[in-house]
A = this chain, B = another copy of it.
């Protein structure tokens, strides 16, 4: 565990804190859903926090991440504040694209966050293109591309991964295998034994790992990033995990699945697990845990207040930014 060993106490506490922040953010918006205020239908990532946080922690600012449906943690780690995200959830002008886009798949060029897609899987080829740009620009940044097991059945998964393999692009494909594509269990949409083996058919390494173990994720991503920066090409990381909430908040957690299954996975909770490890190592204490929880709750309270108090966008906002403005040379003589 070379990379994890180099994490300082501060790092570890910070990673833990990001996971808690992610969890609390999600829990709060799920709780608020249907009670007014929250406009964006929550697609909660509770249970999967170790993947987004473990994969993004330690990335450079100009390393880019492409979010999936369940990467709240990635937005946070990459520096998009809870306030902005919450304002997005409330569809306020202070949110992404001044209210025009959801918080779910928001982009932030400055912070290295690519705009995600509501067309599941389509973001994979876009992420590959970002990695292509890095290669052409001779910049040693990487792209971390998140998507689910459902997305891995889309044609764009195949075309994207093959393309990345052929050009040896600096990209890490993080497949969040939570066992479901909406309400369809893996067994009904996949007949293979694992997704990791698919990498072989694209000419780069793939591995399956415990996605609820933040160190395993961090380790694997860091190693893959080093490979990518060295020009050795992509890696596919299949991270095994589970989401506690259902696909989205229109169904209760236990709809179309066995409550026992949820319980089983709760026993492997990524946050509890890291907490236990850090407590054992003496890095976390009860007091520190409470302090972090309190800070995080306060941060989310603040974000909610910010979102509530922010105005909705004015209707004229609708018409802005359909086209980027053109330089004068392009419009000379134009009448339309």
Contact = CB atoms under 8 A, between A and B. Distances in A.
A190 interface: yes
A101 interface: no
A156 B157 CA distance: 11
Nearest to A163: B153
Contacts of A156: 155
Interface string A140-178: 000000000000011111110010011010000000000
Nearest to A155: B155
A314 B301 CA distance: 76
Contacts of A203: 190-193
A188 interface: yes
A204 interface: yes
Given A158-B158, A201-B197, A201-B201, A165 B153 contact: no
A189 B166 contact: yes
Copies in the complex: 2
A188 to B, nearest CB: 7
Interface in A180-195: 188-193, 195
A198 interface: yes
Interface residues of A, number: 26
Contacts of A61: none
Contacts of A191: 162, 165-166, 168, 202-204, 233
Interface string A4-25: 0000000000000000000000
Contacts of A202: 191-192
A251 interface: no
A264 B144 CA distance: 43
A151 to B, nearest CB: 12
A157 B155 CA distance: 8
A185 to B, nearest CB: 12
Contacts of A154: 155, 158-159
A259 to B, nearest CB: 26
A192 B188 contact: no
Interface string A89-117: 00000000000000000000000000000
A168 B204 CA distance: 28
A159 B189 CA distance: 11
A161 B223 CA distance: 31
Contacts of A195: 201
A305 interface: no
A200 interface: yes
A155 B192 CA distance: 18
Contacts of A233: 191
29 contacts: A153-B159, A153-B162, A154-B155, A154-B158, A155-B155, A155-B156, A155-B158, A157-B158, A158-B159, A162-B189, A162-B190, A162-B191, A165-B190, A165-B191, A165-B192, A191-B202, A191-B203, A191-B204, A191-B233, A192-B201, A192-B202, A192-B203, A193-B200, A193-B203, A197-B197, A197-B200, A197-B201, A198-B201, A200-B200
Interface of A: 153-159, 162, 165-166, 168, 188-193, 195, 197-198, 200-204, 233
Among all A-B residue pairs, the 6 with the closest Cβ atoms: A155-B155, A191-B203, A158-B158, A198-B201, A165-B191, A192-B203
